[in-house]
Structure 1
Amino acid sequence: MTSAPPVMILGCGRSGTSIFGELFDGLDLYSYQSEPAFEAVLAADYNMPQAFKVPRESDLHPAKPGLSFPLDRFLEAAPGARLFWIVRHPLDAVCSLRIGIAKQWGHHPRPPDWQDWLARPLIAQCAHHWEFLNRAGYAQVRHGATLVRFEDMIADPTRFSATICKTLGIDPDANALHLAQWSNRVQNSNNRNFIEARTSRAYSRPDHKVRIDRWRENLTTEEVAAIWEIVGETALAMGYPRPDTE
């Protein structure tokens, strides 16, 4: 039996959920599952530390739009669970979402009106996905979730991982080797140390040199304006003012 709480990692796709989740794969006896069936979440042995990243949707367990699972059912099964919501700058996230959204809106959970957007430009579809999840999804957990930022994770993964451990009551020093290995993987650009999260590899495209501010490599001024029309209000609420495009 351990006092380490269950953990659920949430957020819009391509916002760092996968690499953040893999922080728990080897952390202080945590058992980690990426995108498990929600039935597996309910059946997990909570006598040991459990961590999950964005469970898959289930017809047996319908969810409110914006989440892939019924939050109240999870909290009943995992008392004392800690929720984390990771957010990424919308312009960078839109760039990264393009592959998955182009494949019949392959990122989940989908907004309820996703089919209505299929005739719109791809970047508009991606922007709608980011806006809906970070508004409707985050609204359901905001009073109990810890909000973390992709940019903070990339800028200083050592500090980021230590902060997460302390939030959970875990001694970072007791996990020093694992945390160092994880932190070494988290890079702003591709290099010999970078190892992408396993579930993210199919969604990568070699059209940028950096992860933070990659939109400056991928988007035109006109595309930025079109995206901001969709995400602007939610972006500002999440702490992202409109950037200077000059």
Structure 2
Amino acid sequence: MFESLPSYRGRYRFEPAFDDLRTIDFKAGPVAIKVPKRSSGERMTPGLPFLLEDLLAIVPEPRVIFWQVRHPLDAICSLRPGITADWSHNPKPPDWMEWQKRPVIMQCARHWQHINETGYRAVRDIAAVMHYEDLVCDPHYFARQVCDKAGIDMIDHAEGIEAWAARVGNAKSPDSYEAKRQTHWSRQDHTTRVERWRENMSPEDVEMVRPVVETAARLHGYDLPERVSA
């Protein structure tokens, strides 16, 4: 969304190397950053792809940390291509190599749980939780939440917000919007983004991952199905 807002043009960083944050002139205007990342093997706060104290030291106040979360079953389906590719997603849980001996959906579940339980607990007192389901099903509501928390005037940015909202949605099709620079993980094996698990997971799959994700699911207000129709 930030790329569509005039005041953030040229001021949005997509998954930059963490040390690149030190080169940003934060006094020159607002900046939006999507998940800065350390290299594998560097010190990180468990569940985060960087050391939290370093981030807080570099990015000055006022700042807002948005924590975007997605229903675990849908997230598991989305994670599959990257996890299958030798667990390409970060931050990896410390026991990720042991989990590679298990079915891929279990690996995806462990990845989601590590981030949204361990990682989230590190920032829960300073982060604003945003739900992916709001983004794709009600982008205007989602935009209001972001603008309210970040102090962005929606009227001044109405044109950019409208353009962004017109590109997002719950329907999945070959010509639908995808997160920029992440299309290589996209698969055309589902028709909707929310509850895609109903198309991509079997009842046995759901029961297999339930013990892994149920605590973090409750933490973020998500329900898991008691029984899944085949």
TM-score range, shorter chain: over 0.9
Q: Normalising by structure 2, report the TM-score.
A: 0.92
Q: Secondary structure at the match of 1:190?
A: coil
Alignment-derived partner of residue 78 in structure 1: 59
Alpha carbons 2:134, 2:142 under 8 Å: kept: yes
Give, in whole Å, the separation in 2 of the partners of 1:39 and 1:75: 13
Give, in whole Å, the separation in 1 of the partners of 2:110 and 2:87: 11
Alignment-derived partner of residue 124 in structure 2: 142
Q: Secondary structure at the match of 2:116?
A: helix
Query: CA offsets, 1:37-92, max 9 Å, x none?
Result: 00111221101211111112137962122111111111112222210001100000
Alignment-derived partner of residue 2 in structure 2: 24
The aligned runs of 1:99-178 (5 Å cut-off) are 99-178=81-160
Alignment-derived partner of residue 20 in structure 2: 40
1:68 pairs with one of 46, 49, 62: 49
Alpha carbons 1:85, 1:147 under 8 Å: kept: yes
Q: Secondary structure at the match of 2:157?
A: helix
Query: CA offsets, 1:172-214, max 9 Å, x none?
Result: 1111111011111111113597321222201111110000000
Alignment-derived partner of residue 4 in structure 1: none
The aligned runs of 1:199-214 (5 Å cut-off) are 199-214=181-196
Alignment-derived partner of residue 185 in structure 1: 167
Q: Secondary structure at the match of 2:130?
A: strand
Alignment-derived partner of residue 225 in structure 1: 207
Give, in whole Å, the separation in 2 of the partners of 1:196 and 1:44: 27
Alpha carbons 1:92, 1:213 under 8 Å: kept: yes
Alpha carbons 1:28, 1:170 under 8 Å: kept: no
1:55 pairs with one of 36, 39, 44: 36
- Over 6 Å off, 4+ runs: none
Pair 160,34 (structure 1): closer, same or farther in 2 beyond 3 Å: same
Q: How many residues align?
A: 224
1:121 partner letter: P
Give, in whole Å, the separation in 1 of the partners of 2:129 and 2:38: 22
Alignment-derived partner of residue 12 in structure 1: none
2:112 partner letter: W
Q: Secondary structure at the match of 2:66?
A: strand
1:79 partner letter: P
Moved more, 73-82 or 58-67: 58-67
Alpha carbons 1:184, 1:193 under 8 Å: kept: no
Give, in whole Å, the separation in 1 of the partners of 2:220 and 2:38: 25
Question: Which segments of 5 or more consecutive residues in structure 1 lack a partner in the other structure?
Answer: 1-22
Alpha carbons 1:185, 1:193 under 8 Å: kept: no
Pair 192,96 (structure 1): closer, same or farther in 2 beyond 3 Å: closer
2:14 partner letter: S
1:58 partner letter: S
Pair 37,168 (structure 1): closer, same or farther in 2 beyond 3 Å: same
Q: Percent identity?
A: 41
2:54 partner letter: R
Give, in whole Å, the separation in 2 of the partners of 1:58 and 1:118: 21
Give, in whole Å, the separation in 1 of the partners of 2:42 and 2:2: 25
Q: Normalising by structure 1, report the TM-score.
A: 0.86
Pair 191,224 (structure 1): closer, same or farther in 2 beyond 3 Å: closer
